[in-house]
Structure formats: C-alpha cells, structure tokens
Structure 1
Amino acid sequence: MDRPQPPALRQRIGRHVLLSLVLIWGLGSAVVLGVGNHFVAQAFDRALLDDAHALAAHVRGGEAATTSGRSRNAEPLHLDLTPREVGLLRFDQSETVWFAVYGPDGTLVAGDSHLAPGTIAERALHAFSNLDYEGRELRRVSLRIDGQPPFTIVMAQTTAERTQLLRRLLVYSGLAQLWLLVALGSWLLRGIERDLRPLTDLQDAVDHRDAADLQPLPPSLTHEAATRDVQRLGEALDGLLARVQQGLRAQREFAGNVAHELRTPLAGIRAQAAHALASNDPAVWRSELQGIAQAELRASRTVDQLLALARAAESGIALTLETIALEALVRDVLLRFLPRADALGVDLGAEGIDAPVPVRGNTALIEGILNNLLDNTLRYGRGQPPRITVVLHMGSTPGFAELRVTDNGPGLEDTALALQLQQRWAQGDQGLRLGQGAGLGLSIVARYAQLMGGRLELAAAPGTGLSASVWLPLANASNPSTQALPTNVAT
C-alpha cells in the first residue's frame, strides 16, 4: 500500500496561517458580540431609566393642600397625564412599552396591572431585570422614589430593537473582519510564496543538474538569497557538492593511477607468457617465469602504494594521534629491514635511537614513512660501498623531532628536482634507469607527515647522496607550529 504524499511546505504553512486567522476571526467576533451586547444594553437601559424618571415627575398627590388659609386632606397619588400624553409615552416605532405606578402599600396607582415591580436592593434606587410576558421577552426597570409618600415606577419594553441592533453590529463587524481576513490571508500567502520561491528555485536547480555536474550552485541561489535559512541551505549544498566532488576526484585519480601503472606490467606479463608458450625450451620458460614474477612484484607494490596513498587521504578526515616512542619504533623497523640490506650488501646503521624521543603521531603513518624512505634508499641510493644511515635528532627545531634517512648514492642535481620528487608519479634519473617504482613513495611520505602536522624536506647535492628529513611534533610541545619549520621544506 502506497503511503500518502506529504503536503508541500507552502501548503502546510498556508494551512496553519489560514487556520490561525479563522480562529482569530471567530474570537474577534465573539469579543465584538460580548462588548457590543454590554454597551448596547447599557444604552437601552439608560434610556429606559430616563423614561422612568420622566414618568415619576408626573406623579402627583400625597401632600396636604391649603386654600384661602384653610387646610384640606392630602390628595391621593395619581398620574398627572392626559390620555394623549399617555399614548405618547407608550409610543415607540419598533418596541412595545408598558408602565405602572405603585403606591407605598403596593397598590396600583396607574398603568398596566400585569406589570409587577422587580426586587430593588435595600440601598439601591432602581433595578433592571428581564421577564416574559405573553411569550415575549421584556426588559424592565423598577425605580423607587423616596417622597411623601414613596412610590414605585415600573417601565418595561420589548427587546426586539436591541437584538436587531446587536445582530447588525455582529454582521457588519463580522463582514469587515472577514474582508480584513481575506486581505490579510492573501497578503500572507503571497508573502509565503515569495519567501519560499528561493527554495523552489534551489530545488529546480538541483533537479535539472546533470549527475556529473558538481560545481557550486549559482550565487543567486545561495549567497544572494533573501533569507539566511536559504543561504545556509545553499552553502550546505555547496559544501556537500564539494565533498562529493573531492571524493569522486580521489576515486577517479585512484582508478586512473591503477589503470596507468598496471597497464605496463600487465602488458609485459602477457608478452612474456605468450613468449614462453611459444617456446619449447625449459630455460626460456624459467627466464620468462622469473620475469613474470618480477613484474607481478612491481605491480603488487604499485597497488599497495596507491592504496596507502588513498588511505592517507581518507585518514585526514579523522586521524587518531597519540604519544609514540619514536626511538623504539625506528629500532623495530630497522630490524625488519636488516635482512634485506644484508642481502644487498648495504651498510644500514642508526644514530640517536638510544635516547627517548616522544612524538605526537600515528604508529602506522610513521612506519609507512620509514618503510618508504628505506625502500627508496635501498633501491636508488646505493653508493660505493653502499651505506644508509637513519638519524634521530631532537632540538634543532623547537617543538619538533627530526627523523632523517641519508644515503651515499648519486643524489640529486638541484632543489627543484627534490621538490618535484614529492609529487605523484615523479621519478629521478636513477629510478627511470633502473625501471623500478612508480614515483609514489615520497608523495606518500609527504602526505603522511602533513597529516601528523609535520613536514618533509629533501636535501642533496650531485654525488653526495640524498638526505630525506621528516619533522614530527614532539609530544611535550605546548603548541608546535609548522611555521617554525625551515622555510625550504616542501610538502
């Protein structure tokens, strides 16, 4: 069962924004209704109370009257309004009005007998209340007049007009808020679309890019983007493309190196095998088999060096460094090379390996450095008589220990050639003449030294041999810097 596709980012953001706006619109309408109801009720209640006070001003009686110096009994309470004035009092264009006047004993003085007074608090002079009459809701005010004698005025009216006013207020305010909601929502959606357009452009640029195109993205999509988030995303993609390009370049270089270097020995092996198969002479077979074995050794050595160089490039990402007793490590490597040196008649010696030389490095890389240097000197640096010396020295360069391998071979003609030999596939005249190696040993040494914070230097003069010096940081150095190394050292 296929999983449903997730919504687009702009749809999700737009949905959240519109939902928030609708909720705000609903809350705003409720607030408007509540506030409007409060103030509309206050306005109508105030008008109803004013009408009650106006009616109370027309209540007469209750005080004794005098005529020509003679007194008479107090006049009873009555409403001093003509029928026409009572009609005007009841008149309202949209509401029905009732009123009643009650004496101090609760008897009806004037008005509608069905309109009973409401409860008035002891210290209050009036009170508002709601009541139902013949299925209609009425708003009533009871007004107490503390006169001689006291009386109560009751007035009530229907609530259709205030309800209609509230309905109009809600409709008009709701429509206005709805219009503002639509305008604000449109503006926000356009803003979201505009702000997310760089992401769409970035996606289109990546989707339409060829798999082999690992160049950085256009600056308009990364460094010149409208928002910092898009800039960071573009920079992250550029960094990823750069790392992928570097990895692919290393893979292509490794594959090309292997293909280039194995082409010649494999062709030789094929030719020698064909020559042996075409001959019936056992001596020829033996000779060709020996040649095939030598070619296979050269091919294997080339592959090992290529793999070592590839591992050196990879180990630069996360290399574990630790304190290493360099003198003990050099002693162990020399012991492994002694049988080979004796077989070749080479005098292999060492100096300075009795004193402790603690360095900060990687055991495998240091062994690789010494293996490649000794292998090079055993192949190309044999003088008459052949002599190779490994020297450990500490103190010539602050913060670094020097590992130097020297021979008494033909040496090099100039410094430029010394720098050239540290590049891939570079060989001196001696290597070309002997037909051995692939020109990778010194480049591996330089790379290993660089990974551990050190440097490689080749120093030589014609006829005086070659001196390869590797500086490695001391373990107890506070913060060794490669800037302190000799300026003529090249990596």
Structure 2
Amino acid sequence: MTDAAAPLPPSVPPSPPSLRARLLRNVLAPLLLTWLLGTAIIVGVAHYFTERAFDRAILSDAYLLASRIKMQGREAVLDLSPADLNTVLYDQQETQYFSILYPNGRLLAGEPGLDHPAVNDDAGGEGEGEAHFMSMQRHGVPLRGVMLARSTPVPLRIIVAQTTHSRQALLNQLIVYAALPQLVLLAVLAVWLQQGIRRDLAPLQALQASVERRDAADLTPLPPMAGERARTREVDGLAGSVNRLLGRIDEGVRAQREFAGTVAHELRTPLAGLRAAAEYGLAQDDPARWREQLQAVLQGQLRASRLVDQLLALALADEAQNSRMLQPVALGELARDVVLQFLARADRAGVELGASGLDAPLRVMADPGLLEGLLSNLLDNALRYGKPNEGRATLSVDLSEEADGVRLSVTDNGPGIEPGQRTALLLRWKQGSDNQRLGLGAGLGLSIVDRYAQLMQATLALDSGPGGAGLRVSVLFPRLAAG
C-alpha cells in the first residue's frame, strides 16, 4: 500500500515588474529599434555610394583603354606600352585586371580567362558605350568588374576588374564610425533616463513608505512632499486622493464611535428605568402594583425601541453621506405607500389622517430609502406630539408643485412649536419644552429629517399650520431636470 501523494505547494505568482523597469523598457525599446533601423539605412546608403565611387574609377579605366584602341592595317591593337598600362591600372591597395575581347571571345589584349559566362550572357545587344557592372571571381578571389561594349573601330568588349579589399575596408570603417557613436549615445541616454526615472519616481516611493509606516489608527492627512522637485501633478493628485480617502474613513470611524457612545449613553437611562421598575414590581405583593410596573416596563421598552430606531436612522444618514445614489423617484406613489402604513396607527391614536396631491405625477431626485425614512419620521413625530389639547386631532400629508420645485408637507393641528425654538429643534438631542416636561423622545426626530433632506439636496422648513395653529413641516425638492 503506497502513501498518498503529498499536495503540491501553491504556486507563487511572479512579482510584477517595477514601474521604473517598465518605463525604461517602453522608452529604450523604441529607441533601440530606431537605432537599428537608422544604422541599417546608413549602412545601405554607405554601401551604395562606396560602390558607386569605386565603380566610377574602374569605369574611367575602361573608357581610357577603349580610347587607346587603334587600327594597324586590318588589325586592332591597344596603343599603350607596358609602362603606360602600369600607370593606368596602378592602385596602391588593389590589384586590377583587364581584358579586351572580340565578340567571339578571342582575346585582343589583357588577362586571359577574365571573361565570365555572365559577361557573355549579358553581352548580346549592348549599345555603344553601354557599361555593365558585375561581381566576378578569379582563382577564387572576388572581383568587381565592368564590361564596356564598343563598336568602333571594331566590335569589342573591354572588361576591367578590381579586387574589393579596400572598398570592403572602407565600408566597414563607415559602419563603425556611423554606428558606434550612436551606440555610445544610446548607452549614455539609457543611463540618463534611468537616473531621471529613479529621481522622478522617488516621490512615489516616499509616498508608499509614508503610508506603510502609518499606524492603523492614524487617519490624519499625509504630509506634503518635501522639495519642489518631488512635486508633480500626478503625485499631488495621488496624495490628495489618499488624503480624501483617509478623511472619509476618519469620518466613518468617528461616526461609528459617536454612534457607539451615543447608544451607550442614551440607552443607559431607559434600561436603568426598566430594571428599576422590574425590581420594584418584584418586591410588591399587590397585583395592582405589578400591573402598574408592567405598564412602566412597556413604556420604557417602547421608548428604548424608538431611540434605537432613531440612532440607526442617524447611522444610516452618516453612511449615506458617502454612498448615496440619487435617482428619479415618483414622490406621490412613495408617499401613498407610507401613508397607508400609518393609517392603522392613526386610527388607534384617534387621529384623522388625510392626504392631498398624491395622484400628481411628480418625480424628484432622491434616495428611496432616505425619502421613506424622512416621511416616516415626520408622521411619527406628528402622531406623537401633534395632538391638540381639545378637539379631534387631524394630520395631513400634502404634495404640491411650485416654481422652485416639489414640496412635501406634513401638517398637524397640535400645540405647534414656538418660532424661537424651531431652529434649535433641528439640532440633535434638542427637545421642545413640552417634550422635556412629558419626558417623551430624545430630540432626534427633526434632526434626522433635516439630515435626510440635506443628503437629497432638499430644504426643510418649519411653519405654523393653517390659521396659525399646529405645525407644518415641509421639504422642498429641486425640480427634476427635463430628460
């Protein structure tokens, strides 16, 4: 029985190349290709003009030989002495050969065997003075030659050939002198680019080091980069984006800490009241006292539940500050759904709940969750605190279109709020005098509504109801742009 094969270790993905290496590659690779292409062009041009210069020299020798062919009787002769031939064909570095041939291949003067099959193949039909350049070999030595066709004084072919050592050496020198300086310049440019890229990327490395050295609890903005040379728009933009991200994270952390502290502080009182009522009830033998304390426990639980709901609504508002997404919302349909949810509660509380304008096809830019929470808080506040001291309580939800936008209003006929207290009640933990006296609420309802309105770019207003009685809370939403 064999043991099971051991599992292979997970493969480690290769580390990505550095930005400096990638920039060098993206810059130097095109430069290298350009250098290679330029060198090839230079070599081609140098080869072309070198060949033309040497070919022109041997062509001049061929014309000189052709001009010295004379007729002696009925025979053509080359009117040059051996000394003259040495002078004409002398070259300090190369060896030159010549042949003067009849059309049938018979040698008139010069070196035998210099004729080449290619010469014979190309010889037919040459015009007077027409020259053909060709590559040849003699005893395995490469030659460069020219064939000149003449018809006077008799049809002849003059061939002049020359070894190619000097022209090849000159071509090699041209290549070295043309390519080597460019190669040196390319190497110098590579070093300069490497230093420049390293210097320009230093701020990014400093920014990376600054972020890595930070403690998890340190959400303060990054310090500005030291020195003007370290500053670029890209680095400043990246640092600004990091600082804005740190700011948003810091706001979220502060909101969480504030939420946790608020929950701990605000729930301590109702929970302590619940415990005290329960302990007092357990210490009594009279069932009537038990019922009384159970009622107190129920009221304390309702107040604690409402407080938790409001604290969660505040946390939602703080979170929505960075994640809200406004979209077109049919305000009448949403308001109708919320009103229907509160009808049963209004009937139990003896409040006449009405609505107007909900059938109008009005749309606003809003967050559906925030909008529903805004209207629910307004109706909850009105049902709790909007009852008159005498007479039947009424509550109305109205939707209307105005020149500045769309207005959503919740109006009650209760005791209302004094004008001097209305602005203060929009702050957190601020209660009206009646609420403080009755011990109801925590002073969060209107602050939640105001915060929701701000997040949806709407405006909250507190006014008196019809005839100066009650309270009218209205939210004005900007008009939805056409299209």
Q: TM-score per shorter chain, which class?
A: 0.7 to 0.9
Shift of 1:98: 1.2
* CA pair 273-48 structure 1, distance change in 2 beyond 3 A: same
1:443 is aligned to 447
SS of the residue corresponding to residue 428 of structure 2 reads: coil
* CA pair 456-387 structure 1, distance change in 2 beyond 3 A: farther
State the alpha-carbon separation in 2 of the partners of residues 254 and 196 from structure 1: 42
SS of the residue corresponding to residue 324 of structure 1 reads: helix
1:59 is aligned to 69
Alignment pair present for 1:457 and 2:456: no
1:427 is aligned to 431
State the alpha-carbon separation in 2 of the partners of residues 478 and 165 from structure 1: 82
2:188 is aligned to 183
- Please give the residue correspondences for 1:53-132 in structure 2 after superposition, counting only pairs within 5 Å: 53-62=63-72, 74=73, 76-103=75-102, 106-116=105-115, 118=119, 119-120=122-123, 121-123=125-127, 125-132=130-137
* CA pair 307-116 structure 1, distance change in 2 beyond 3 A: same
* CA pair 225-296 structure 1, distance change in 2 beyond 3 A: farther
**Quick one: which of 15, 18, 43 aligns to 2:53?**
43
Q: TM-score, normalising length from structure 2?
A: 0.81
Deviations along 1:329-367, one digit per CA (max 9) or x if unpaired, are 57635532334323xxxxx33566488555436776565
**For residue 57 of structure 1, what is the amino acid of its counterpart?**
S
SS of the residue corresponding to residue 143 of structure 1 reads: strand
**Quick one: which of 230, 252, 264 aligns to 2:269?**
264
SS of the residue corresponding to residue 258 of structure 2 reads: helix
Shift of 1:327: 7.9
| 435-444 or 101-110, larger mean C-alpha shift | 101-110
Alignment pair present for 1:34 and 2:44: yes
Q: TM-score, normalising length from structure 1?
A: 0.79
Shift of 1:393: 5.3
Shift of 1:459: 3.2
State the alpha-carbon separation in 2 of the partners of residues 366 and 185 from structure 1: 61
- Please give the residue correspondences for 1:242-281 in structure 2 after superposition, counting only pairs within 5 Å: 242-273=247-278, 279=283, 281=285
1:22 is aligned to 32
State the alpha-carbon separation in 2 of the partners of residues 388 and 363 from structure 1: 29
Check whether the contact 2:387–2:412 (CA below 8 A) recurs between aligned residues: no
Shift of 1:438: 1.1
Shift of 1:175: 0.8
Deviations along 1:253-303, one digit per CA (max 9) or x if unpaired, are 3323222211222233344455566x3646566555443333222111111
* CA pair 36-146 structure 1, distance change in 2 beyond 3 A: same
* CA pair 378-251 structure 1, distance change in 2 beyond 3 A: same
1:349 is aligned to 352
Shift of 1:478: 6.6
State the alpha-carbon separation in 2 of the partners of residues 159 and 100 from structure 1: 18
* CA pair 89-24 structure 1, distance change in 2 beyond 3 A: same
State the alpha-carbon separation in 2 of the partners of residues 138 and 364 from structure 1: 94
Deviations along 1:421-476, one digit per CA (max 9) or x if unpaired, are 11211112222222221111111222344455543322359xx76413213559xx
| 161-170 or 332-341, larger mean C-alpha shift | 332-341
Check whether the contact 1:276–1:285 (CA below 8 A) recurs between aligned residues: yes
State the alpha-carbon separation in 2 of the partners of residues 454 and 164 from structure 1: 87
* CA pair 11-104 structure 1, distance change in 2 beyond 3 A: closer
State the alpha-carbon separation in 2 of the partners of residues 322 and 7 from structure 1: 52
* CA pair 270-115 structure 1, distance change in 2 beyond 3 A: same
**For residue 295 of structure 1, what is the amino acid of its counterpart?**
G
2:7 is aligned to none
Alignment pair present for 1:318 and 2:325: yes
* CA pair 11-274 structure 1, distance change in 2 beyond 3 A: farther
Shift of 1:160: 1.0
Q: Tell me the percent identity.
A: 43
Check whether the contact 1:21–1:185 (CA below 8 A) recurs between aligned residues: no
Alignment pair present for 1:404 and 2:406: no
Check whether the contact 1:386–1:408 (CA below 8 A) recurs between aligned residues: no
**For residue 126 of structure 2, what is the amino acid of its counterpart?**
E
- Please give the residue correspondences for 1:290-301 in structure 2 after superposition, counting only pairs within 5 Å: 290-301=295-306
* CA pair 358-99 structure 1, distance change in 2 beyond 3 A: closer
SS of the residue corresponding to residue 446 of structure 1 reads: helix
Q: Could you tell me which runs of 5 or more consecutive residues in structure 1 were left unpaired when the two chains were aligned.
A: 63-73, 343-347, 481-491
Check whether the contact 2:78–2:109 (CA below 8 A) recurs between aligned residues: yes
1:489 is aligned to none
| 331-340 or 353-362, larger mean C-alpha shift | 353-362
State the alpha-carbon separation in 2 of the partners of residues 217 and 258 from structure 1: 32
Check whether the contact 1:360–1:472 (CA below 8 A) recurs between aligned residues: no
Alignment pair present for 1:160 and 2:168: no
Check whether the contact 1:331–1:353 (CA below 8 A) recurs between aligned residues: no
State the alpha-carbon separation in 2 of the partners of residues 309 and 387 from structure 1: 33
Alignment pair present for 1:389 and 2:394: yes
1:488 is aligned to none
Alignment pair present for 1:143 and 2:148: yes
**For residue 336 of structure 1, what is the amino acid of its counterpart?**
A
**For residue 22 of structure 1, what is the amino acid of its counterpart?**
L
**For residue 406 of structure 2, what is the amino acid of its counterpart?**
F
1:418 is aligned to 422
| RMSD between superposed Cα atoms in Å | 3.6
Q: Could you tell me which runs of 5 or more consecutive residues in structure 2 were left unpaired when the two chains were aligned.
A: 1-10
SS of the residue corresponding to residue 93 of structure 2 reads: coil
State the alpha-carbon separation in 2 of the partners of residues 437 and 224 from structure 1: 59
State the alpha-carbon separation in 2 of the partners of residues 393 and 266 from structure 1: 38
Shift of 1:82: 2.8
* CA pair 84-103 structure 1, distance change in 2 beyond 3 A: same
Deviations along 1:64-115, one digit per CA (max 9) or x if unpaired, are xxxxxxxxxx263223333333333443222111112234654322221121
Check whether the contact 2:461–2:473 (CA below 8 A) recurs between aligned residues: yes
Check whether the contact 2:346–2:383 (CA below 8 A) recurs between aligned residues: no
State the alpha-carbon separation in 2 of the partners of residues 219 and 61 from structure 1: 98
Shift of 1:13: 1.9
Shift of 1:42: 0.8
1:335 is aligned to 343
Check whether the contact 1:392–1:402 (CA below 8 A) recurs between aligned residues: yes
1:207 is aligned to 212
* CA pair 85-412 structure 1, distance change in 2 beyond 3 A: same
State the alpha-carbon separation in 2 of the partners of residues 110 and 354 from structure 1: 122
Shift of 1:201: 3.6
* CA pair 466-225 structure 1, distance change in 2 beyond 3 A: farther
